[in-house]
Amino acid sequence: MSAVLEAPAAFAHPIVDDAFLADPYPAYRALREAGPIHWSEEFFGGAWLLTRHADVEAVLRDAARFSAQRTGGWVKGNEATPGELAGFQQVFARALLFLDAPDHARLRKALNVGFRPERLQRLLPHMEGLTAALLDAVDPDAGFDFMQAVARPLPMRVMAALLGIEAETHEAFTAWSDDLSAFIGAPMPTRELARRAQASLLAMTRYFDERLPHKRRQPGDDLLSLLAQAEATGEIEGGAELLAQCAMLLFAGHETTRNLLGNGLRALLDHPDQWQRLQREPALLPAAVRELLRYDSPVQYTGRRVATDLMLHGRLLRRGDLVVPLIGAANRDPVRFPDPDRLDIARDGGASLSFGSGPHVCIGAALTRMEAETVFGALARRWPDLRAVGGPARWSGNPVYRGLATLKVQAPSFDTRSGRRRTRSA
């Protein structure tokens, strides 16, 4: 008997609809309350959805029974002719995100060198300077789109600095990342999304392939040079494996951070008491960023393939079945986080699952938190009366990478550059 026939019917209506994309948390709550596991045809042709924190964390930690290797059918299922997306699959499947042991452990060890605390601390002044320059360039009195002015350009420029590549290429990289995000984030990606993702991923790899020879000849103190050195010592294979790490580091570092900045600022401005408390107590910044990650995660779910037949909550999961751990639902599980729909920047409940857990926990988590603390701290100091304007939030419509398309903000009583309050005439 197939796993589909043994699956419970979750709901009669679609899960991923317009209402879900605008606010997925009521749907998550309904799913959690209806049960810990549900089968849905809406995700990649059929998948088991896990709704509760304990189960999501357990699956993310259990690499032996739940495999991260899941790109083959995903990519090839969109081929019009055999081999059409072979270039995409060759690179995509070698990214750290989609590898199991022993390859995953080998690559992660090599990549970890680039994210050591001392290396990130050396990057902090540059990050602060970039943030200040982007904020200096806007007019808070007239209002500006925070997503376009800060949240989109900053993460790409920070990753460019970390990798040691040209910052002026950030617009091309952002466009390529958008195409990858649209493919990865679609519950049922179309052939056109797959073709665009392939074109953009291969454009990214060509860019890195052209720059790696220089890094091999004249290595610097940057991540791309470290990756070239790891290739020379055999820690990373040349070709598709090396290029996959370069491309996906840039993509993941941009996508997650951009959405954290937008979602986080929107949440703070929607909760003026929390925004004001952050201004009064800047020492809460690290805790505030942890809470903002939990409250509206930039990554809403991920995927795993069942590696061997197993029973979970009375349901038989067959080898090869897709499991979708709903991170956004887990982060609002009241068993783990009391009063989970309340934003509390002083919450003392530990980290959420927004960066994952287990072997695949996000390698750039510390960098992303550092960027968020830098930006939210700078905004709180410059423009304490910053507010969202322009009506309801407009979301990107990506169910995996939840983020805002635009976020118009305004701080009419503050000077653009000095951050000092203007004197208003009678």
pLDDT of residue 9: 45
- Copy the structure tokens of residue 144: 């500006």
pLDDT of residue 12: 44
Residue 24 lies in a domain: yes
267: left (phi over 0), alpha (psi -120 to 50) or beta: alpha
Name which of 400, 315, 326, 361 is nearest 61 in CA terms.
Answer: 361
- Copy the structure tokens of residue 37: 């596991």
pLDDT average, residue stretch 389-410: 93
Name which of 86, 109, 100 is nearest 240 in CA terms.
Answer: 86
Q: Where are the alpha helices (DSSP H) in 137-271?
A: 146, 153-163, 170-184, 191-217, 223-232, 240-270
DSSP letter assigned to residue 387 = E
Beta-bridge mates of residue 260: none
Cα–Cα distance measured from residue 419 to residue 278, given in angstroms and rounded to the nearest whole number: 17
Cα–Cα distance measured from residue 306 to residue 308, given in angstroms and rounded to the nearest whole number: 6
- 178: which residues sit within 8 A by CB, 6+ positions away? 200
pLDDT of residue 420: 57
Residue 418 confidence class, pLDDT cut points 50, 70, 90: low
Q: Which residues of 275-307 are buried (b: 16+ CB within 10 A; e: fewer)?
A: bebbbeeeebbebbbbbbbbbbbbbbbbbbbbb
Given a cut of 80, is residue 415 above it in pLDDT?
Answer: no
Residue 83 lies in a domain: yes
CB 411 within 8 A of CB 141: yes
pLDDT of residue 5: 36
pLDDT average, residue stretch 186-213: 95
CATH number of the domain enclosing 14: 1.10.630.10
pLDDT average, residue stretch 25-47: 93
Q: For tokens 């209402």, what's the residue?
A: 19
Given a cut of 70, is residue 11 above it in pLDDT?
Answer: no
Supply the mean pLDDT for the chain. Answer: 92
Residue 408 confidence class, pLDDT cut points 50, 70, 90: very high
339: left (phi over 0), alpha (psi -120 to 50) or beta: left
Better-predicted residue by pLDDT, 350 or 345: 345
CB 155 within 8 A of CB 367: no
Total structural domains within the chain = 1
* Strands 304-306 vs 37-40: parallel, antiparallel or unpaired: unpaired
pLDDT average, residue stretch 301-325: 97
- pTM of structure: 0.93
Residue 371 lies in a domain: yes
pLDDT tens-place string over residues 210-259: 999 999 999 999 999 999 999 999 999 999 999 999 999 989 988 999 99
Residue 424 lies in a domain: no
Range of the domain at 259: 3-410
Cα–Cα distance measured from residue 175 to residue 154, given in angstroms and rounded to the nearest whole number: 14
Residue 61 lies in a domain: yes
pLDDT average, residue stretch 41-48: 90
Residue 424 confidence class, pLDDT cut points 50, 70, 90: very low
pLDDT of residue 43: 86
pLDDT of residue 182: 95
Cα–Cα distance measured from residue 67 to residue 101, given in angstroms and rounded to the nearest whole number: 9
Residues 229-232: contacts with CB under 8 Å, at least 24 apart = 230/110, 230/113
CB atoms within 10 A of CB 114: 21
Residue 270 lies in a domain: yes
Percent of the chain with pLDDT over 70: 94
pLDDT tens-place string over residues 93-140: 999 999 999 999 999 999 999 999 999 999 999 999 999 999 999 999
Q: What is each CA distance from 216 to 79, 167, 203, 241, in whole angstroms? A: 36, 20, 21, 16
Given a cut of 90, is residue 193 above it in pLDDT?
Answer: yes
Packed helices 191-217 and 170-184: angle between N→C axes, nearest 10 degrees: 140
Q: Which residues of 201-224 are buried (b: 16+ CB within 10 A; e: fewer)?
A: bbebbebbeebbeebeeeeeebbb
pLDDT average, residue stretch 29-44: 93
Residue 421 lies in a domain: no
Cα–Cα distance measured from residue 394 to residue 390, given in angstroms and rounded to the nearest whole number: 10
Residue 416 lies in a domain: no
Given a cut of 50, is residue 423 above it in pLDDT?
Answer: no
Cα–Cα distance measured from residue 295 to residue 86, given in angstroms and rounded to the nearest whole number: 38
Residue 7 confidence class, pLDDT cut points 50, 70, 90: very low
Given a cut of 80, is residue 198 above it in pLDDT?
Answer: yes
pLDDT average, residue stretch 190-214: 96
pLDDT tens-place string over residues 346-383: 998 889 999 999 999 999 999 999 999 999 999 999 99
Cα–Cα distance measured from residue 393 to residue 188, given in angstroms and rounded to the nearest whole number: 25
CA 311 to chain centre: 30
Given a cut of 50, is residue 4 above it in pLDDT?
Answer: no
* Strands 66-67 vs 144-145: parallel, antiparallel or unpaired: unpaired
